[in-house]
Structure 1
Amino acid sequence: MNYQSPLARARGLGAAGVGSHEWWRQRVTAIALVPLSFWFALSVARLPGLDYAEVRAWIAMPWNSILLLSFIIIVAYHTLLGLQVVIEDYVHTDWVKMLALLSMKLVFAFLALAALYATLRIIFMD
């Protein structure tokens, strides 16, 4: 016997009532990363010498800086979502799961902020 209302079944809400929004977020970020990854790989491959001055000048260009900041944010968020699912699915001890989730979120927040800071510093300090 199904105790869900027809509206809940249509929305895809599970037993906890939270639905599948994390799944959709992961898919949307994955789709956004496809063109951004191609752009990043092709742009870096086209830099002739990859010396410090060339990379700084490349990052300081308006479209490159916007796309690079978007790439950093989306990669960090997509990775965070993926690792969160892995930890929630495969770590069964509650305190270890909470510690792992907290540690992972803090590390990724720090790495994303460091990457954003470095990029913004190059953009605005030139």
Structure 2
Amino acid sequence: MPTPLAQARGLGAAHKGPETFWRQRLTAVANIPLVLFLIFSILLHIGSPYEEVRAYLANPIVAVLMLGLMLSATLHLRIGLKEIVEDYIHGDWIRMTMLFLTGFFAIGVGLASALAIIKISLGS
């Protein structure tokens, strides 16, 4: 029988409670400078021709920062969607279906974004 202190230190029934909370906060904090960099990049290249923007994205530092943003943002998206589904969708089979669909959606967005950044930065 767990003591009150053990319950307070415990991570809940699945032993994963604070891990998801901190992962979401970490991605949120990582997104702040990365989104600011994205906004700066967009403002810097408003009205620029495609070749100029492609040359900008071909810079390895810029490409890595953009890929970092996509990774962090899609992880944050996946965690947020999962939390919404778990909190508001009732019924086991609907919840499981929605968890699969939102997981695949987040992965698809991340892969499509990464592919686009890589293709543009490599000159395709």
Under a length normalisation based on structure 2, what TM-score does the superposition of the two structures give? 0.88
Per the alignment, residue 96 of structure 2 pairs with 98
Within 1, Cα distance between the matches of 2:76 and 2:17? 19
Under a length normalisation based on structure 1, what TM-score does the superposition of the two structures give? 0.87
> Does residue 101 of structure 2 align to residue 108 of structure 1?
no
Q: 1:69 to 1:91 in 2, by over 3 A?
A: same
> Does residue 2 of structure 2 align to residue 3 of structure 1?
yes
SS in 2 for 1:3: coil
Within 1, Cα distance between the matches of 2:87 and 2:69? 27
Per the alignment, residue 83 of structure 2 pairs with 85
SS in 2 for 1:20: helix
The offset of 1:122, in angstroms, is 1.9
Letter in 2 for 1:87: V
Report how many residues are paired: 124
Within 1, Cα distance between the matches of 2:3 and 2:51? 61
The offset of 1:20, in angstroms, is 1.1
Which consecutive residues of structure 1, in runs of 5 or more, have no partner in the other structure? none
The offset of 1:31, in angstroms, is 0.4
Q: 1:19 to 1:104 in 2, by over 3 A?
A: closer
Letter in 2 for 1:109: I
Within 2, Cα distance between the matches of 1:63 and 1:7? 46
Instruction: Indicate the structure whose relative CO is greater, using CA pairs within 8 Å and at least 6 residues apart.
Output: 2
Q: How does 1:1-126 map to 2 (within 5 A)?
A: 3-4=2-3, 6=5, 9-10=8-9, 12-125=10-123
The offset of 1:114, in angstroms, is 1.1
Within 2, Cα distance between the matches of 1:17 and 1:111? 29
What do residues 5-55 of structure 1 show as CA deviations (whole Å, max 9, x unaligned)?
745634x52243333100000000000001111111011101142332222
Letter in 2 for 1:47: H
Percent sequence identity over aligned pairs: 33
Runs of 4+ more than 6 Å apart? none
